[in-house]
Homo-oligomer: A and B are copies of this chain.
């Protein structure tokens, strides 16, 4: 009907862009599926939705894509530069976190000791359990964060 030649540039019209996005997304996913079947090749694709950030198009699915990505990471190990950086970054964070945790533990210990001493002086005996919830909670939060970072690092190591 009309001219249909499209130049390769951002489509400024909101509705036109959305229409194009949906059609092309479907087309691409179809083609990827065809390729994986025709050639029996693992492949994946991830495309964000510009109109709904919650919805990301993924082929073949979340898990399948992650498998392909992991495999890719494994084989692409030679290209170490980036992961090494990422790894050293995480190691740095772990070190800092551990230091912070140590400081907290030290502080807590001092405070506990002080309280124990006071208690000892007042009651003339040392209690078995002394609960300082706030301090321990802080401790736990830091520890939990560290665990998360460590898990990330472990995943990274496994995938390298």
Residues of A within 8 A of B (CB): 6, 8-11, 17, 20-21, 24-25, 27-28, 31-32, 34-35, 37-50, 53-54, 56, 58, 62-63, 66, 68-69, 71-72, 75-76, 79, 82, 158-160
Which B residues touch A28, using CB under 8 A? 28, 31-32, 35
Please name 11 pairs of A and B residues whose Cβ atoms are closer than 8 Å in the assembled complex, sorted by A: A10-B37, A21-B35, A21-B38, A24-B35, A25-B35, A44-B46, A46-B69, A48-B75, A53-B75, A62-B76, A66-B82
A47 vs B68: C-alpha distance when bound (angstroms)? 8
Which B residues touch A158, using CB under 8 A? 53
Total copies of this chain within the assembly: 2
A10 vs B44: C-alpha distance when bound (angstroms)? 18
Question: Given A31-B31, A79-B54, A8 and B47 touching (CB < 8 A)?
Answer: no
